[in-house]
Amino acid sequence: MGSEPPLLDALKSLYQQVSGENPGFSTSISRNKDESNLDNIVEDCRLPLIDLHRLTLSAVEQESCKQEIANAAATHGFFQVINHGIPTKVLKGLQYHQMKLFELPFCMKASGVSFLNWPANTYRWGNPAAKSIGQFMWSEAFHLGVADISKVDAFMGSRSYVDMFVSGAASLSKAITEILAQNLGVNDTSFFEENCSPDNCYLRMNRYPPCHSIPEVFGLMPHTDSDFLTILSQDEVEGLQLVAEDGRWYSVRPIPGALTINIGDLFEAWSNGVYKSVRHRVVTSAESERLSVAYFYCPSYETVIESCMIERQPLIYKKFSFGEYKRQIQLDLQFTGDKIGLSRFYNI
């Protein structure tokens, strides 16, 4: 019994659906034009690499480290950190157990609810909502609410690594959020403490199998994250890319032991556009599989997101609850296959 999801079959039937033709499948399948500018990639995007150990040094060092974080969030929307408090041993251990989890037979993963008592829709692959080849995703994932992690008890001893990663990521999210809020002049960060309890956050374990025949297919289609911020641990295989203001795609070089942090839509709205939620995607590799784990720092669904600059600047976005935001995304995905995101909430 194989462990691989039938990605090629799903892609072929999507192709048939959108083109009305039978794919030969050494045939090249193209995404739509603006998403297929792979030539535009500048290898090695020089994202800021920030040493968080500096937050424990002199006041001057602390201040300059905080400034780097805020600058990175306002320019790239992405940065990498070392000395972040999650030991490399934990990241490696989690990766190993993640690999074991993905090695379970496909039918078992796909019907995880009955076999493993996981919540429905925990296991995802391909993209059933895709309406074009550019929306197909050559990947599989376990997407879990942190509150549900205890249900992953058939995790073959990995529980402690998941717990250690999640608690490290929770502390790190809190620390980064405080720095970013204070940089905007908001010293009372109780909003985040009250609304973003660990149980409102999500963990997503991604696996991108090698993709031999169709290099144009994404591992993960271009998207922004719908949270306040994301903490990502990636293995050593390159694949993550982000788009810069010049419209070019840059690839993010994995650094062993480092974590990648990116700003999500909610922080962009809350900061009235100061911090940038940047579109990113994952491209596939013909040779290697790739693994990553993302921790999404989220509030409860009732939390109202409103700019912290309310008295100071014209507001870019209307206020909305996180639940409203998620519902709009679901609707847009259903009808267009893509997320429209923050532009749905422009204050015009």
Ligand X SMILES: O=C(O)CCC(=O)C(=O)O
Q: x/- string (CB under 6 A) for ligand X, residues 63-102?
A: ----------------------------------------
- Please tell me which residue in 46, 124, 290, 312 is annotated as part of the active site: 290
CB of 268 to Fe ion, least distance (A): 14
Site for ligand X in 205-234 (CB under 6 A): 206, 220, 225, 232, 234
| 225 vs 265 by CB, closer to Fe ion | 225
Site for ligand X in 243-302 (CB under 6 A): 280, 282, 292, 294
- Other Cβ atoms closer than 10 A to 330: 12
Name 152's Cβ contacts closer than 8 Å, sequence gap at least 6: 116, 118, 142, 144, 159, 162
Q: Rounded to an integer, what distance in angstroms lies between the CA atom of residue 66 and that of residue 329?
A: 32
User: What Cα–Cα distance (Å) separates residue 21 from each residue in 10, 14, 15, 61?
Assistant: 14, 10, 7, 61
At how many degrees (to 10) do helices 88-102 and 159-183 cross?
A: 120
3 state SS for 79-118: EEEECCCCCHHHHHHHHHHHHHHHCCCHHHHHCHHHHHCC
CB of 341 to ligand X, least distance (A): 13
With CB under 5 A as the contact rule, the residue among 35, 140, 225, 265 that binds Fe ion is 225
Beta-sheet pairing, 240-243 with 218-223: unpaired
Q: Is 207 a catalytic residue?
A: no
Candidates 43-51, 57-65, 217-225, 333-341: pick the segment binding Fe ion (CB under 5 A).
217-225
| 225 vs 268 by CB, closer to Fe ion | 225
CB of 122 to ligand X, least distance (A): 14
Tokens 């992953």 found at? 152
Number of residues that bind Fe ion (CB under 5 A): 1
| 118 vs 296 by CB, closer to ligand X | 296
- Other Cβ atoms closer than 10 A to 146: 22
CB of 223 to Fe ion, least distance (A): 6
Q: Is 257 within 8 Å of 238 (Cβ atoms)?
A: no
Q: Rounded to an integer, what distance in angstroms lies between the CA atom of residue 74 and that of residue 267?
A: 11
CB of 234 to ligand X, least distance (A): 5
Catalytic residues: 290
Q: Which residues contact ligand X by CB under 6 A?
A: 204, 206, 220, 225, 232, 234, 240, 280, 282, 292, 294
